């Protein structure tokens, strides 16, 4: 498919015409040659577990060092082939891989398999207990820096762990190709509302953010906080999934999608793939697929979870032993997928299509006033907010950011199923809007796909404020979510 590039200041009507042309190609009817073609699928896992002693990402500096591997990290791959088109979907156990890591892996995969990069969709799970594989712009003193959600200045050389991950990602696709066999495919969705809560809350009384600005919305405000008014946005309780099985009915793979940030409950120093991997293990047991000659591959992708976690701030408070809560979430989600799985129709052939484009977005820039605040803040002996100096450092770093970035937007068509890939932590309301406007009978969105550029609040959420909207945590222009939905 021809690649489409949209630049920032193009008129809306021109954007609509270009996108309609792309969507028309995606929605071509199933042609008569379908009966002559065979559908095949293959899946694999490739181990990307780091060495002990590396820093674990997902929090504030200084990064805790890995002292124990609770469960291995993987790149999980699914290859679909309709006889004409091959699609690759890969989900990697990492907090947020930058675009240059994905791009390097795609180049290697294309070189070794001839699959075009436009037909390869890759994403991160956003586990907060993986080794960091991103980039930092001129990191300041470690005690004041946040490792998450940085924008790299490309091209930048990959480090040793990034090169290792790239090689294993490419290996994973080759193994999945080796496992290709005639297959049937189906999809469905269930509902798991009990484990997703909007973590952004409107407050009765405003609180100051690190920049000294009062806000009426707070992220993770504390359980049973008397200042809570109501959640600032919706949740998406749906768990969507795609299933492929052999012609004999043996499960090959299940790719699921659930809009939950992560679960956590991991002791310091532990490497873990979080509930994403536990879901795969639970589903394998439910499907009785743990003794197959070609191993079953369960895959959980992260949906539109930028403002969603699994903490009920209305209370009551509850505590869990390490790993217990993620096991509960994984079990419930796997059981719901298994319940729906038993009634879905697996088809022997469906058409596959792919569309990709690049969208140019402006990055947010600190003005003279905010830069003056940052410089003065770093000179202060006593802080007015525990994160004040952290965000002062980050604000000054932003001077070096590129003024514009190109982000990949990608869509796969699998029969009447549509899968969108967006390189941000997308808010649930945006995911719901995409589902509502999708031309497909069933759709879901994979977040942190083909890159990672931080949070993607809607313009309305920007007006409310809160962590996800803060300068440097949110990196791109405030209308970006609307442009991406279009």
- pLDDT value, residue 288: 96
Domain residues of the chain, as ranges?
4-203+217-365+401-485
Q: For 83, what's the count of Cα atoms within 13 Å in the CB-facing half-sphere?
A: 14
Q: Reduced to 3 states, what is the DSSP secondary structure of residue 168?
A: helix
Mean pLDDT of the 191-207 span? 98
Task: Confirm if 476 and 364 have CB atoms less than 8 A apart.
Answer: yes
Q: Tell me the torsion sign for CA atoms 104, 105, 110, 111.
A: positive
Task: Confirm if 147 and 63 have CB atoms less than 8 A apart.
Answer: yes
What are the pLDDT digits (tens) for 239-286?
999 999 999 999 999 999 999 999 999 999 999 999 999 999 999 999
Mean pLDDT of the 205-219 span? 96
Whether pLDDT at 1 is above 50: no
CA pair distance 354, 421, nearest whole angstrom = 11
Residue that is written with structure tokens 């982000």 in the block:
407
- pLDDT value, residue 317: 86
Whether pLDDT at 230 is above 70: yes
CA pair distance 340, 365, nearest whole angstrom = 47
What are the pLDDT digits (tens) for 390-409?
999 999 999 988 999 999 99
Calculate ∠ Cα 133-136-141, nearest 5°.
120
Whether pLDDT at 15 is above 90: no
DSSP 8-state code for residue 468: G
Q: Tell me the torsion sign for CA atoms 111, 115, 121, 127.
A: negative
What are the pLDDT digits (tens) for 431-463?
999 999 999 999 999 999 999 999 999 999 999
- pLDDT value, residue 128: 93
């Amino acid at each position: 498919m021809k690649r489409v590039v949209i630049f920032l200041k193009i008129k809306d009507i021109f954007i609509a015409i270009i996108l309609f042309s792309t969507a028309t190609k995606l929605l071509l009817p199933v042609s008569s040659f379908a009966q002559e073609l065979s559908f095949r699928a293959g899946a694999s896992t490739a181990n990307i577990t780091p060495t002990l002693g590396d820093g674990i990402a997902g929090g504030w500096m200084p990064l805790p060092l890995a002292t124990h591997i609770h469960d291995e990290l993987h790149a999980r791959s699914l290859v679909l082939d309709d006889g004409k088109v091959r699609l690759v979907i890969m989900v990697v156990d990492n907090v947020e891989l930058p675009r240059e890591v994905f791009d390097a892996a795609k180049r290697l995969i294309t070189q070794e398999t001839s699959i075009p990069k436009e037909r390869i969709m890759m994403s991160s799970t956003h586990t907060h207990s993986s080794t960091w594989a991103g980039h930092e712009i001129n990191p300041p003193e470690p005690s004041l820096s946040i490792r998450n959600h940085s924008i790299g200045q490309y091209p930048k050389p990959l480090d040793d762990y990034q090169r290792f991950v790239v090689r294993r990602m490419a290996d994973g696709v080759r193994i999945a190709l080796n496992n290709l066999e005639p297959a049937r495919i189906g999809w469905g969705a269930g509902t798991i509302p009990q484990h997703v809560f909007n973590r952004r809350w409107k407050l009765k009384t405003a609180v100051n953010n690190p920049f000294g600005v009062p806000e009426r919305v707070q992220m993770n405000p504390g359980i049973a906080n008397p200042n809570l008014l109501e959640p600032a946005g919706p949740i998406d309780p749906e768990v969507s999934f795609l299933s492929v099985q052999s012609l004999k009915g043996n499960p090959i793979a299940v790719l699921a999608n659930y809009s939950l940030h992560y679960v956590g409950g991991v002791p310091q120093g532990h490497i873990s793939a979080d509930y994403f991997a536990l879901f795969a293990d639970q589903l394998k047991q439910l499907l009785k697929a743990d003794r197959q000659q070609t191993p079953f591959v369960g895959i959980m992708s992260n949906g539109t979870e930028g403002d969603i976690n699994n903490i009920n701030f209305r209370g009551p408070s509850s505590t869990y032993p390490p790993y217990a809560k993620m096991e509960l979430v994984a079990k419930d989600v796997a059981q719901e997928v298994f319940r729906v799985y038993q009634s879905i129709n697996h088809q022997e052939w469906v058409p596959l299509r792919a569309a990709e484009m690049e969208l140019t977005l402006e990055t947010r820039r600190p003005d003279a006033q905010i830069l003056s605040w940052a410089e003065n803040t770093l000179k202060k002996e006593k802080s007015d907010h525990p994160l004040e100096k952290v965000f002062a450092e980050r604000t000054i770093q932003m001077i070096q950011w590129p003024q514009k970035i190109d982000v990949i937007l990608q869509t796969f068509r699998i029969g009447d199923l549509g899968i969108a890939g967006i390189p941000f932590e997308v808010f649930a309301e945006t995911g719901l809007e995409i589902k509502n406007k999708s031309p497909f009978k069933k759709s879901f969105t994979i977040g942190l796909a083909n890159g990672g550029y931080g949070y993607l609040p809607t313009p309305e959420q920007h007006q409310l404020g809160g962590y996800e909207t803060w300068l440097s945590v949110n990196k791109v222009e405030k209308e970006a979510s609307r442009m991406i939905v279009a």
